[in-house]
Structure 1
Amino acid sequence: MAKAEVKAAKTTAIVDASVFNPLPTGARDGLPGPTRRRRAVSEGLLRTFEAWGYREVAPALLEYFEVLGRGLDDAMRERCVRFIEAGTGELIALRSDVTPQIARMVAQRVGGSVQAGDAMRLCYAATLVRLPAGHYDRAELHQVGVEYVGDGSPEADAELIGLADEALRGQGCATHRFDLAHTGVIRGMLAELELPPAAERELRGRLARKDREGLSAALERWGVRGKVGEAAASLCDLHGEPKLLAAAERKLAPLGPGVGEAVARLRAVVAALAAEHPGVHERLLVDLGEVRGFDYYTGMRLRVWAPGSSEPVVRGGRYDDMLARYGASLPATGFAVDLDALEEALLAAGVSVEGEQALAARMVAIAPPPKRASKALRAQLRAEAAAEARGARARGLRAWIDTELGLEAAQAMADRRDAARLSWLRVDGREIVRERWRRRASGWRQEKVMHGSSNT
């Protein structure tokens, strides 16, 4: 058996190197530094959301699978972590998406705390759990997001985009860009073309790859020709700055009224952004051939990208039919910030997040007392260490007590715990001596020595 000894001042711990302690696929631990940074980012985002009138809620971690599943597509239902509830036999699922939960929470309260005509602005911080889709996929997704229920206007969509921009800028993200699409474009085109399911899948695949030549050939094969075929193939090229929307509305007219309505809606959202959130407009791109999110969103679809992250830092859009699945016919729009993706972008940009630095710290260490020290003297030693820690905390420092440490061991531990101040208490004869040390660039320097006597 392979064993390695780890020596400490108090004891000698034996670590069995043959014992394997893996995590499940997709799970990750958060260590102190990154966890503190994540909390600072989450709290900063929530402060921005609350400043815009969004009230924080805490959706349940557990849901009945049948209830949660109403708001999920088939693929996402398959990724739910499920188990049988003891005593009832009901199928329970861990939270895999917050949006259906918000829909349920609001729908349950219509007629009570939610009155007709109310606009609900809600925000949350949550961890989602999903079965990973692959070996490198995440099983836990950490999100901070908003849901705006009860307003179906273009201005509501524009508000969400403006809020996302301000929230990201508040965290120091300044180079992000917005990708805007509308699922009604593809939905309207498919309704007009009336293609068989296999052809629809191929069309969506070629659009996703921007394969105009292949799409044109496929349309010809399906008998979609002339102006309709040309308009459908042109979706591969209709991505770029918002100014393309005016010409696109005319170019796509052969694809039917549904497509025209979707493009007109995007133009209205862009106009509202220019009027109310002008700083966003210059970083906005549109993609009329976007096919992702087609089965989830009913209107606008939003993605925000930032250098340093391979995933969008924000995902969102409009889902006007979601609340109807829970018994309340209300429009809704929302987005979620992917904290892992945002942190990657911030680290790549070298951004320091407000609040990520821990408070200055004083470690209070107690040296091993002499074997002959009385019980009362040992108790006083501990009491003075506690008083030293309390005083440090009262002055705004982090402070804690570690025991059985010689001076060098205490200084080494303080280094590992990022404590630049050290109080080392020891027994000298019948006295308790407090030595205060401070870590400087050149090493540890003694600041003060205080002697106290004991009657025991």
Structure 2
Amino acid sequence: MSTPPIRLPSGVRDFLPRAAARRRSLAEKVMAVFEAWGYARIITPYFECADVLERGLGAGGRASAIRFVEPGTGEVVALRPDITPQIARVVATRMQEIPGPIRLCYEGAVTRFAGEAGQREILQAGIELVDAPEPDGDAEVLAVAAAALAHMGLPEIRIDVGHVAPAAFVLGSAPDAASRVLIASALGRKDRAGVRSAARALPEGIAPLAEALATLWGPAQPTLDKAVALPWPEPVMAALEQLRVVLAAFGELAEQPAPSVTIDLGDLRGFDYYTGVRFAAYAGGAPDAVLRGGRYDELLGKYGRAAQATGFAIDLEAVAQAQRSIGVAPPSAVIGVAVHGAGASELARALRATGLRAVVQQRAPEAWGAWLRGAALDAAIVGDQLIGSDDGSRSAKRAIEEARAGDTKALIALLKAP
């Protein structure tokens, strides 16, 4: 019987030092932004009891959850496809006595089943704002999203905002599930003719509203003006006015320069999950949204605490790939050196004390350059020579002697020199 090949499951991957550094740098940057806005970091487990986790998942989330039997207890557990339900559980149980608003942030991996493609592991970072009503809570999370996106190093950032009320009214007027599916599918494609055809099943007066939804996207102010000119029922009109107030409050709260804002009232992604304002962010180099979020006022009640809530998650992997596609360089690591030969330990300690990375290499490799590149180090100190990752060598006798005596400035200058 042959030995199976060494492999990874579908949808997951290893990140070598440069790729890992890019993703860790992104996570650290966005988490620093979240904490600067007053959000406290929380860590939740990679898997939970399936029935508990699934209380907070929409139909799509439940379908994407990967389940297995936990050997110790026999419980059916699930890898988390989303972190927001975990935050809801924590707030409703572990933090039930803490009054709102509660501001929490997180970063970590989620795993989702993706049909024939297998599974997909996604690196996320996000915030959740609990017990913050409309419109102030929505404006705040939009402002935090804009601040985080500003640190991503991507061009052409745009936040696309909507509200579930208009589409909910149209789809709720459909006579049956089949009609709803046809209308939703056409709206998802922005297919005005398809919407017109599918909307024939709607009551008189609502079909034109359905068709209009396929056109209600574009620059924020004119699109919103176009929407409010239509004969919506009072609850939808109130929601559109609420959206106008949210955008005005966002303009006041956001750090400048704020990204451009567009509106799309026909976007149905997350329709069964969000209850009010929803939004997504796009950037140059990324084929799809790099951030999604919105209001989910019904979620915490499923865990025992009725509370309004809103938040978003950034797809760090999508941001990392977008950075690479447009040529954004990975973050510069702290200079790292290998020290070889007599007195290596003492010299390495002196270099670490200055903030450099220093490793004692007891055995010289066959080729210093190839080894340094593989070890993600910049240079090797061998005797009185400084050897670079390109195998180039230069004398650094005086600088090394000064470093051994405790003065590392000259050696650090040499290491930083091209």
Short-chain TM bin: 0.7 to 0.9
What is the Cα deviation at residue 312 of structure 1?
1.0
Partner residue of 2:297?
A: 320
Give distance in 2, aligned partners of 1:230 and 1:75: 29
Partner residue of 2:151?
A: 170
> How many percent identity over aligned positions?
35
Contact 1:186 1:259 in 2 (8 A): no
Partner residue of 1:369?
A: none
In structure 1, which of residues 405, 421, 434 is the aligned counterpart of residue 364 of structure 2?
A: 405
Q: For 1:203-218, what aligned pairs fall within 5 Å after superposition?
A: 203-218=183-198
Matched residues, number: 398
Q: For 1:281-300, what aligned pairs fall within 5 Å after superposition?
A: 283-300=260-277
Q: Calculate the TM-score normalised by the size of structure 2.
A: 0.88
Q: 1:105 to 1:20 in 2, by over 3 A?
A: same
Q: 1:311 to 1:213 in 2, by over 3 A?
A: closer
Give distance in 1, aligned partners of 2:180 and 2:349: 69
Q: Which has the larger radius of gyration?
A: 1
In structure 1, which of residues 342, 346, 360 is the aligned counterpart of residue 335 of structure 2?
A: 360
Q: For 1:26-425, what aligned pairs fall within 5 Å after superposition?
A: 26-112=11-97, 114-115=98-99, 118-135=100-117, 139-191=120-172, 193-220=173-200, 222=201, 224-225=203-204, 227-243=205-221, 244-253=223-232, 256-277=233-254, 279=256, 283-352=260-329, 356-365=331-340, 384-405=343-364, 409-424=367-382
- Residue 417 of structure 1 aligns with an amino acid whose one-letter code is A
What is the Cα deviation at residue 162 of structure 1?
1.3
Give distance in 2, aligned partners of 1:194 and 1:234: 16
Deviation string, structure 1 residues 297-326 (Cα, Å, up to 9, x no partner): 111111101111122111111100000000
What is the Cα deviation at residue 184 of structure 1?
1.7
Partner residue of 2:415?
A: none
Q: 1:275 to 1:390 in 2, by over 3 A?
A: closer
SS at match of 2:333: coil
Deviation string, structure 1 residues 253-288 (Cα, Å, up to 9, x no partner): 2xx333223222211211212333385776111111
Give distance in 2, aligned partners of 1:308 and 1:138: 24
What is the Cα deviation at residue 415 of structure 1?
4.4
Unaligned runs of 5+ in 1: 1-17, 367-380, 425-433, 452-456
* 1:436 maps onto 2:385 in alignment: yes
What is the Cα deviation at residue 420 of structure 1?
3.6
Q: 1:43 to 1:211 in 2, by over 3 A?
A: same
Q: Displaced runs of 4+ in structure 1, greater than 6 A?
A: none
Q: 1:203 to 1:20 in 2, by over 3 A?
A: same
- Which shifted more, 397-406 or 287-296? 397-406
SS at match of 1:251: coil
SS at match of 2:109: strand
What is the Cα deviation at residue 72 of structure 1?
0.9
- Which shifted more, 182-191 or 273-282? 273-282
- Residue 120 of structure 1 aligns with an amino acid whose one-letter code is I
What is the Cα deviation at residue 240 of structure 1?
1.0
Q: 1:138 to 1:358 in 2, by over 3 A?
A: farther
Q: 1:63 to 1:223 in 2, by over 3 A?
A: closer
Contact 2:66 2:111 in 1 (8 A): yes
- Which shifted more, 384-393 or 58-67? 384-393
SS at match of 1:147: strand
* 1:446 maps onto 2:404 in alignment: no
Give distance in 1, aligned partners of 2:257 and 2:240: 19
Give distance in 1, aligned partners of 2:168 and 2:353: 62
What is the Cα deviation at residue 54 of structure 1?
0.6
Contact 2:386 2:394 in 1 (8 A): yes
Give distance in 2, aligned partners of 1:361 and 1:274: 44
